[in-house]
Chain A
Amino acid sequence: MTNANLRLILGAATALGLGAATQTFAQDSIYVPLLTYRTGPYAGSGIPIADGMRDYLTMLNERDGGIGGVRIDIEECETGYDTKKGLECYEQVKPKKPVVMNPWSTGLTLSIIPKASVDKIPILSMAYGLSAAARGNVFPWVFNPPATYWDGFSQMLEYIANKEGGGVEKLKGKKIGYIYLDAGFGREPLPLIEQLSKDFGFTPTLYPVAGTDMQNQSAQWLNVRRDRPDYMIMFGWGALNPTAIKEAVKINYPMDKFVSIWWVGEDDVKAAGDGAKGFRELNWHAVGAEFPALKDIQTRVVEKGKSQSPKEKVGSNLYNRGLYNGMLIAEAIVNAQKVTGRKVVNGEDVRRGLESLNVDEARLKQIGLEGFSGPVKLTCADHNGHFPTYVQRWDGEKFVKDSDWIKPMSAKVDPLLEADAKSYAEKNAPWPARTEACDNKS
């Protein structure tokens, strides 16, 4: 046998072997990649979220042998919260047939939205990403429950109006500062702010913070001191959050008038010391580890050395945020198995599973998360749900609930979302019309 023939045979054998291995891999497990960031400037926010997501799915593998008897193949890809690296991760995991993509970056989400329908991989951008993606008829492959950034902003306005005595008319004449990461994430609510400021008569003052200046915000806060906004709203991430809170303390900005979107962790506030008492942020789930599912994570994952999280971080705000994301992934797979009757589901199946997601109180109790969060239900038309959130307050040691559940201003936000979705489709023409069948119209 010549060397060339030998190489050909070996090559063919290797290819067959690989093919067989892939086949076995595909039949034995459900592949769930997690695009995370445990390194770089945003690791402070990324690590607890990655831990929460991973630990919940690992717990299902350890306790139940996976979902419906099929093990979940969890793989992390480090993006560093960098869209370019995130896209590399996307291409890297794509051949392994992921059933759902969790980008954990608004910038990355915006980049892969056009790919989702082509690659048949649903995107789960949980409470981040493109707000207009809530419109399932335009974005059948994108899901962003339980609330959009636009919902969140309107909920903060509602909270402010309530503090002022109730009714949005109380916003009239107020000056509302908006400090934000000057990136896709922070810029996302700007069109809404422009519209709502006209509708409600408040004056917005904008304080963008470049990614390179996250730890160097004194000029922005001097502007705050000069402008004296009645309230401050923050859309921060990574190192922006602790620095902003420290700077706010430094200029004696009243903490009870400083409200953030849902991305501030305990460590971000602790860094500012006692002066941060009273700081507020939105949330939609509980903080703490006193839930059966979290106890299972402690005993079956953390204590067995299968988690990267320190024990004391289990139950913290952003850890639970990641856990909630893990729960949504798992429930979408459970649903996909129900809808299709198949145990080993693919991306198209999970898209259907997400579209008919219905995690009600009974289901939350069943999965060990009773009272952890409100129910979440999606439909073909509504991929978000626009669920209420509440405001939590930092008491110096922990976050405590500070308000009732606050509904988004849907009457104002929904038409804007509709218009934005339409505008997105027009700008990205020819945007494919929805052809996917609907399992759940209401």
Chain B
Amino acid sequence: MNPLYQIFVDPFVQMAGAPDLFAQTIWEGFVGGMLYALIALGYVLIFKASGVFNFAQGIMMVFAALTLVGLHEMGVHAYIALLLTLGVMYLLAVGVERAVLRPLVNQPDIILFMATFGLTYLLIGAGELVFGGNPKTMIAKELGLPSGGIDFNILGGLVSLQRIDIAAAVIASILVAGLAAFFQYTRVGRALRAVADDHQAALSVGISLNEIWVVVWFAAGVVALATGVMWGARSNVSFALQIVALKALPVLILGGFTSVPGAIVGGLVVGIGEKLGEFYWGPLLGGGIESWLAYVIALAFLLFRPHGLFGEKIIERI
């Protein structure tokens, strides 16, 4: 078959020929994309507040999920374990603010970035020490999350939606909307945006940097927990999950490091784009293109929008 036909025509013929599979692919991409958006949101929040790319966001997701499952394994009721995990993430936020951010205030960004590397290894070590390296099954049922699937005989075939995926999409949407509203309309949110604009100016009007950092790191911890629960329920809870968090990087490149809407749109573009790419174009390249396709999509966008879709265009005087 003509290669040009295979690349530019055949995939679209397939989409039209089997619309149920096309819809299924879009759905899978949408769910993955919402979860990527949630992970990216954790990065964006911290970047906005402290100007640092938090390398530890991925391991925070694993750590939160492991804490939840680990506490439940110790006999704690699922909902109490959930509350206790939130408490642990709050303590982590306070600890990071006291032990990492406060002593390093006014240091170059790269120092803070390296500190988040240190935090990553600290959390890996602590997680393995307390909970071991064995993968664990997410306590989805105990948390009241749905299981099983709903099949729709539509579009000339079958579209199957997993209940856990629906729950993941709904919870991710609520969290994203809630956080966006929180940081847009509340006093803390306005303070965060002030801090993001200019630390010194924010300090001069009485905003406590320390409090803002705790709030933001805690919010990132909540996001990490939600993502860990959802992704853990789709697969399992293991240290492999931190690799999934790296998928947020192209999302951030695409959406911009400072934009909440960018994280959402970027997540969806990457999520849906990689599934469509793998499903319709992957076989032409021997499959397995998903792992790098997201970066290609992000780089393609960068050619036209160097600051990302919604990133701020920063002009610095020389």
Q: Is A321 an interface residue (CB 8 A)?
A: no
Looking at the assembled complex, report how far the CB atom of A221 sits from the nearest CB atom of chain B, in whole angstroms: 9
Complex Cα spacing A213 to B287, Å: 12
* A residues less than 8 Å from B236 (CB atoms): 44, 215, 239, 242-243, 271
Residues of A with Cβ closer than 8 Å to B? Answer: 38-44, 46-47, 182, 206-216, 218-220, 222-223, 225-226, 238-239, 242-243, 246, 250-252, 267, 270-271, 273
Contact present for A215 and B124 (CB under 8 Å): no
Looking at the assembled complex, report how far the CB atom of A179 sits from the nearest CB atom of chain B, in whole angstroms: 10
Contact present for A44 and B124 (CB under 8 Å): no
Name the interface residues of B204-250: CB closer than 8 Å to any CB of A.
231, 234-236, 238-241, 243-244, 246-247
* A residues less than 8 Å from B10 (CB atoms): none
Question: Which of B133, B239, B288 makes the CB contact (< 8 A) with A182?
Answer: B288
Q: How many residues of B contact A (CB 8 A)?
A: 40
Complex Cα spacing A226 to B280, Å: 11
Complex Cα spacing A207 to B241, Å: 21
A267 to chain B: closest residue by CB: B135
Complex Cα spacing A267 to B136, Å: 8
Contact present for A44 and B238 (CB under 8 Å): yes
Question: Which of A43, A211, A215, A225 makes the CB contact (< 8 A) with B231?
Answer: A215
Looking at the assembled complex, report how far the CB atom of B311 sits from the nearest CB atom of chain A, in whole angstroms: 25
Contact present for B283 and A223 (CB under 8 Å): yes
Question: Which of B133, B231, B275 makes the CB contact (< 8 A) with A222?
Answer: B275
Contact present for A226 and B18 (CB under 8 Å): yes
* B residues less than 8 Å from A216 (CB atoms): 32, 235, 244, 247, 290
A41 to chain B: closest residue by CB: B240
Complex Cα spacing A40 to B149, Å: 31
Which 4 pairs of residues, A with B, have the shortest CB-CB distance?
A41-B240, A43-B133, A219-B278, A208-B288
Contact present for A206 and B124 (CB under 8 Å): no
A-B pair count, CB < 8 Å, reads 122
Contact present for B282 and A270 (CB under 8 Å): no
Contact present for A222 and B279 (CB under 8 Å): yes
Question: Which of B21, B244, B287 makes the CB contact (< 8 A) with A220?
Answer: B287
Contact A208-B287, Cβ < 8 Å, known A38-B133, A47-B134:
yes
Contact present for B275 and A41 (CB under 8 Å): no
Complex Cα spacing A44 to B25, Å: 29
* B residues less than 8 Å from A38 (CB atoms): 128, 133
Complex Cα spacing A214 to B124, Å: 19
Contact present for B274 and A219 (CB under 8 Å): yes
* B residues less than 8 Å from A213 (CB atoms): 288, 290-291
Contact present for A239 and B235 (CB under 8 Å): yes
Residues of B with Cβ closer than 8 Å to A? Answer: 18, 21, 24-25, 28, 32, 124, 128, 132-135, 137, 147, 149, 160, 162, 231, 234-236, 238-241, 243-244, 246-247, 274-275, 278-279, 282-283, 286-288, 290-291
Other A-B pairs beyond A44-B135, A219-B282, A226-B279, 6, CB < 8 Å? A39-B124, A41-B239, A223-B283, A246-B235, A252-B160, A271-B235
Can you list 24 residue pairs at the A/B interface with Cβ under 8 Å?
A38-B128, A39-B239, A43-B134, A44-B134, A44-B238, A211-B243, A212-B246, A213-B291, A215-B234, A215-B243, A215-B244, A216-B32, A216-B290, A223-B287, A226-B18, A226-B279, A239-B238, A242-B235, A243-B236, A246-B235, A250-B160, A250-B162, A251-B160, A271-B135
Contact present for A239 and B135 (CB under 8 Å): yes
Interface centre among A38, A218, A252 (most CB of B within 10 A): A218
Question: Which of A43, A47, A210, A223 makes the CB contact (< 8 A) with B279?
Answer: A223
Contact A207-B287, Cβ < 8 Å, known A39-B133, A218-B32, A219-B275:
yes
Contact present for A271 and B137 (CB under 8 Å): yes
* B residues less than 8 Å from A214 (CB atoms): 240, 243
Contact present for A226 and B21 (CB under 8 Å): yes
Looking at the assembled complex, report how far the CB atom of B129 sits from the nearest CB atom of chain A, in whole angstroms: 11
* A residues less than 8 Å from B290 (CB atoms): 210, 213, 216, 219
Looking at the assembled complex, report how far the CB atom of A225 sits from the nearest CB atom of chain B, in whole angstroms: 7
Contact present for B286 and A39 (CB under 8 Å): no
Question: Which of B18, B21, B28, B134 makes the CB contact (< 8 A) with A218?
Answer: B28
Contact A212-B135, Cβ < 8 Å, known A219-B278, A225-B21:
no
Complex Cα spacing A271 to B134, Å: 13
Contact present for A212 and B24 (CB under 8 Å): no
* A residues less than 8 Å from B137 (CB atoms): 267, 270-271
Contact present for A219 and B279 (CB under 8 Å): yes
Looking at the assembled complex, report how far the CB atom of B250 sits from the nearest CB atom of chain A, in whole angstroms: 12
Contact A222-B287, Cβ < 8 Å, known A214-B240, A267-B134:
no
Contact present for A40 and B133 (CB under 8 Å): yes
* A residues less than 8 Å from B274 (CB atoms): 219
Question: Which of A47, A207, A222 makes the CB contact (< 8 A) with B25?
Answer: A222
